[in-house]
Amino acid sequence: MPEFDIFETVEKTLGAEQLKYLQNKLRGGKSNSNGGRYESNFAVYKLSQCIKSIFDGVTTKLEVASQEPNFVDDFVVWDADNSSKESFQLKNSANVTWNSGAHPIATDFDYHYQIDRACGVEKSVTTLTMSNETLYDELSQTIPEEISHHTNCILFEDYTSVNTALIEGHAVRKALSDICVYNEIDKLEHLHVVIKGVWEDNKSDIRDVDKFIEKVRAVKPEFLHSFASTDVLDCAASNILNNIDGFSYIILDKRLQYEYSSDSGGMFNGFKNMDADSDWEEFCAKVVEVNPQSFRELLLGVL
- Domain assignment present for residue 228? The answer is no
Residue 270 CA to residue 248 CA, distance in Å, equals: 11
78 CB-contact burial (10 Å; exposed 0-12 / middle 13-18 / buried 19+): buried
Residue 169 shares a structural domain with residue 200: yes
Strands, E assignment, the chain: 62-65, 75-79, 84-91, 123-130, 151-155, 247-252, 255-261, 267-273
Pick 277 or 148 by higher pLDDT: 148
Residue 113 shares a structural domain with residue 248: no
Residue 167 shares a structural domain with residue 289: no
Per-residue confidence (pLDDT) for residue 63, from 0 to 100: 95
For residue range 130-169, list pLDDT tens digits in order: 999 999 999 999 999 999 999 999 999 999 999 999 999 9
Pairing mode of beta strands 247-252, 255-261:
antiparallel
Residue 173 shares a structural domain with residue 269: no
- Tell me: pLDDT of 31 over 50: no
Which of 58-67, 166-175, 268-277 is the most confident on average? 166-175
Whole domain around residue 260: which residue ranges?
Answer: 235-301
CB contact at 8 A, 226 and 252: yes
64: β partners: 77
Per-residue confidence (pLDDT) for residue 228, from 0 to 100: 54
Residue 58 shares a structural domain with residue 87: yes
Q: What is the mean pLDDT of residues 217-237?
A: 73
- Tell me: pLDDT of 58 over 80: yes
Helical spans, DSSP H, in 180-219: 185-202, 209-219
- Domain assignment present for residue 224? The answer is no
Residue 205 shares a structural domain with residue 261: no
- Tell me: pLDDT of 33 over 50: no
Residue 238 CA to residue 257 CA, distance in Å, equals: 14
